Structure 1
């Protein structure tokens, strides 16, 4: 029986693994790097595309933090289940909103219409005066600039400008907030499930600090909103400034947005005040200065002792950035988002400081 012929092997055969063989460590390393970069680019693109829904979800988290703060505060008085306390907080909030609009709805509606006409008239007078001085272009040029700027806002935030879109956004945010507040531990465990096992304890501590900081920050904002709104209304009513009630409501709402909100409130108050006369305008200007000083030097420092300390320049920069990117929602939630990022960065710095001795000891060995 004849032996099989030996297999011929070419002498110039290429040695080493090919690029499609995952056994090569270099190929695996480069493929891992490419996958990471592709994932980062995809995540950024997805975040830009889904910017509005993500901000709505974050708004639900903010509403849930406010409701959770009320539930925890009520728990110090009523030793009942969390579900019942949440129901009481929601009902009290609805009762306050419905009662306010029922008692003051007609008056507020009339004053809002009057405020719109007054602001438009004052704006026309101011632009005409600046045009005569040569500081500002003519009305047609201004209209063209305004239309051009409005056309550049983009499709991400264009739907927010309509009343239906704004109402729908508000309803979704509130509903999400109620669901998050009903079972916060359920969603927290879901987030922990998406984190690697060895990082879950650190993630749990970070999220707990974020929640505590967010509750304190929002509690301080609510106190500041109430104080600023009531003080503005009373001072303007005493000085005889028209539309004092609606200006007080606007001042209270805009107090949720520090820095920029105060500027918008002051502009409206001064415009309405000078529409009724020089003395009334001076009173409105003085009222705005006194209320802002009281809020900045009395209310905010007291509340800041129990909340997160955010530098004003950082807050204003984040407001400008997020409002330019995401419109009204970005402006509203810039402050809470900045506070949460600050907590995450501080926690990361603490962990790095804690791990440094371990790394030094391992390197010494």
Structure 2
């Protein structure tokens, strides 16, 4: 094949594209009359990576697996530490406001710690009372629950499940199993108290150390400004998310509790507390919180009560978590729905129930340390859900697609008329 002539249309189009590209970049070489495309001799050598990209990815994944298994193995220690860290971040502004009003630093720190510990103690006391009431209440509906379990077993066998498989599936629905779980939780008061002691001790230590937090960040800022900025943004976002979610969770739990009391659903206090706890679990918490009141509402009042529970929970969840919370929290989270859902499953697997409740703060911490603190990979942030700037590009692309569609339809119409 012969070489392309200068008048070749492909060469002309390619040259025009190169000139337009360099003109948009505003390269100074063009203004000096130098060639637009440098030759091979003058081209700067491209640095070669020390390791292939595939090797780097595999090594990174292997390190991540080791870290995850280490966190899971030490969950009894890591979970209280993370909980204490989040609580310390949330109460830090209270201590600073007290100091600004002239309260001594030690008294301000102690007041914030006592307030948080009082709230935790009150919550666990209410949970203990609710579990005790549930343990006493469950035997009253044991016969109805057993009849329902038998109906579920028959339905499973009718759709093709074997008798052994159906028995295995419904074994966990037996009321005796629920009584054992509730009794085990009540019998684990010593473990709960021990966890509270650990959290309180960590709160005291972290709150004392947090008094030097701003000075430490100022020392780090000249050397690691991106890391300091990422950590500061993480604390602001986590504090706003947790405070808003806690307030809305209290409102959601109270409204659901009052509705269940009016509907005369057994165990209303426990289900209200469950609704409050599950408000911290995005996407999944609503379905966890609604199942028990539906079951006991059906046992106590039949289908009308069960439908009323579904309607009340649906309205409260739609108003609080779908309308109010996104507007109040705003850009504090900026995680995609997929990443939020996966983070709940992931952290629940690694750290247990505490991981599910603190899934969003943990994910924000991971993004702050791994992405926000490194300017070289900060461009990954839109892929995690921070699409504030991406929305403009998406709107432009949609407008371009609509314009191309109109042009294509006009062209087809013109060809049909010409025929």
Confirm or deny: 8 A CA contact 2:133 2:267 kept in the other structure: yes
- In structure 2, C-alpha distance between the alignment counterparts of 1:244 and 1:314, rounded to whole Å: 33
Aligned partner (choices 273, 276, 286) of residue 300 of structure 2: 276
**Map 1:198-213 → 2, pairs under 5 A:** 200-213=224-237
Q: CA deviation at 1:312?
A: 2.6
Q: Show the counterpart of 1:67.
A: 88
The 5 A counterparts of 1:81-160 are 81-98=104-121, 108-114=130-136, 116-117=138-139, 124-133=146-155, 134-135=158-159, 137=161, 140-141=164-165, 144=168
Distance across 2 between alignment mates of 1:343 and 1:43: 16
Whole-Å Cα distance in 1 between the matches of residues 205 and 141 of structure 2?
40
1:173 is displaced (CA, Å) by 3.9
Matches within 5 A, 1:254-333: 254-278=278-302, 279-305=304-330, 307-333=332-358
Deviations 1:219-261 (A, max 9, x none): 1221122111111111111222222222111111221212222
For structure 1, which segment, 183-192 or 239-248, has the greater mean C-alpha deviation from structure 2 after superposition? 183-192
User: How many pairs are equivalent?
Assistant: 309
Q: Deviations over 1:244-293 (max 9, x none)?
A: 22211111122121222211111011011101022222222222112111
The equivalent of 1:176 in structure 2 is 202
Q: Compute the RMSD of aligned alpha carbons.
A: 4.3
1:115–1:281 distance in 2 versus 1, CA, 3 Å: farther
Structure 2 gap ranges (5+): 1-49, 173-183, 380-419
Partner of 1:9 in structure 2?
none
Once the two structures are superposed, the pairs formed by residues 229-248 of structure 1 within 5 Å of their partners are: 229-248=253-272
Match of 1:48 in 2: 69
SS of the residue corresponding to residue 257 of structure 1 reads coil
Cα offset, 1:352, TM superposition: 5.7
Structure 2 counterpart of 1:362: none
Q: Could you say which residue in structure 1 is the equivalent of 2:36?
A: none
CA distance in 2, matches of 1:138, 1:177: 53
Equivalent residues of 1:210, 1:344 under 8 A apart = no
In the other structure, the counterpart of 2:403 is none
Partner-residue secondary structure (3-state), 1:305: helix
Is this contact kept in 1: 2:371–2:378, CA < 8 A?
no
Is the contact between residue 248 and residue 320 of structure 2 (CA under 8 Å) also seen in structure 1?
yes
Whether the 8 Å contact between 1:266 and 1:285 is mirrored in structure 2 is yes
Q: Deviations over 1:309-333 (max 9, x none)?
A: 3333221111123333443343233
Give the Cα–Cα distance (whole angstroms) in 2 for the partners of residues 88 and 241 of structure 1.
Answer: 39
Structure with the bigger RCO (C-alpha within 8 Å, sep 6+) is 1
Give 1:208 deviation, angstroms: 1.6
CA-to-partner distance for each residue in 1:55-104, whole Å, 9 max, x for gaps?
743642443333343341454364424432231122233444555676x6
Secondary structure of 2:224's counterpart equals: helix
Change in CA separation of 1:115 and 1:350 when aligned onto 2, cut-off 3 Å: farther
Query: What TM-score, normalized by structure 2, do the two folds share?
Result: 0.60
